[in-house]
Amino acid sequence: MGRKPVIVRHISKIDLEKLYKDEKDVKIKEKLLAIIHLYDKKNIYEVADILKRCEKTIKNWLSSWNKEGYEGLIPHNRNGKKPLISFDEWDKIIDEIEDKGMTIKEVIEYVKDTRGVEYSYKGGWKVLRVTKKVKYGKPYIRNSKRPEDAESILKKG
């Protein structure tokens, strides 16, 4: 069904199984399971079928294992893309816009004007609502006839 893959045995099968048993990260654990099957002389197609992955994925994992061993199975780009503005800077922005009742579009425009960085609506929403847990602002139209001390007048009445 295919030739047996060449696998570098960086550690013994017992140590490999212990690594698998102790691993907490499910992605790394799945890769270790693939390597265990390859240690057991299964070919790439059999391992791909067992793990319900494509052959290319198993080949990539095998290649990483052969080059670096266990370290090769650890994802290196876990945090994704670097943010346009640091989270500390976002804290400053949130302090600046606090109690202004700004919408997400207005905050994005404010960031563009003050920091020179453009965010999409979705990007701004993710930072403000998901990451920073900023509450929704409701912009109200101010009544031009309302006196400045309306609250104190209301309390007296």
Full-model pTM = 0.50
Any domain includes 140: no
Measured CA to CA, the distance from residue 74 to residue 129 in angstroms comes to 30
Residue type, 105: K
Q: Check whether residue 68 and residue 111 sit in a common domain.
A: no
Do residue 92 and residue 63 come from a single domain? no
User: Would 93 be classed as within a structural domain?
Assistant: yes
Question: How does pLDDT run across 63-88, given as a tens digit for each residue?
Answer: 999 999 989 898 876 566 777 888 88
Q: Which domain, by its residues, includes 33?
A: 13-73
In this structure, is residue 123 part of a structural domain? yes
* 100 and 67 in a common domain: no
Per-residue pLDDT of 82-136, as tens digits, reads 778 888 899 999 888 887 778 889 899 999 999 999 999 998 888 888 888 887 7
Residue 61 CA to residue 146 CA, distance in Å, equals: 68
Q: Is residue 144 part of a domain?
A: no
Q: Tell me if 2 is assigned to some domain.
A: no
115, 93 Cβ separation under 8 angstroms: yes
In a domain, 148, yes or no: no
Q: Which residue's structure tokens are 């890769």?
A: 31
Question: Contact 44/62 with Cβ under 8 angstroms?
Answer: yes
Q: Please tell me the distance from the alpha carbon of residue 70 to that of residue 68, in angstroms, as a whole number.
A: 6
How many angstroms separate the most distant Cα atoms in the chain?
A: 90
Are 19 and 70 spatial neighbours (Cβ–Cβ below 8 Å)?
yes
Domain-located, residue 61 = yes
How many domains does the chain fold into?
A: 2
Q: Could you tell me if residue 63 is inside a domain?
A: yes
